Amino acid sequence: QPPHRDYDDLCGLPDLTEKTLLENLRNRFKQEKIYTYVGSILIAINPFKFLPLYNPKYVKMYDNHQLGKLEPHIYAVADVAYHAMLQRRRNQCIVISGESGSGKTQSTNFLIHHLTA
């Protein structure tokens, strides 16, 4: 069987089923790609370890970029909300939800880190 293609946005899956969705997330997680888009929604899978995805290089890389132009990242969501707030002169909201232990607090910390940078 040919190796499965890695989709960073689940909307691009040719066959969207629970099985293909979970396989794609599993394959990305094995490569330490913990972020995956579903359109403008970001899925984050807690790796339960520190990954080098949160340094100043990434803050700068995701500054003023459209969602989906770079690899999925929490900084991309923060940056899109920030620039929408500036452009539209309206408050923005980012909803973070998940099970206990899923990394909601850590994700919030990364969002704030990007916004304050």
Instruction: Give the N- to C-terminal CA distance of the chain in Å, as an integer.
Output: 45
> Minimal CA–CA distance to 82: which of 97, 57, 65, 68?
65
Known binding-site positions:
98-105
Known binding-site positions for ATP:
98-105
Contacts of 102 (CB under 8 A, 6+ apart): 44, 46
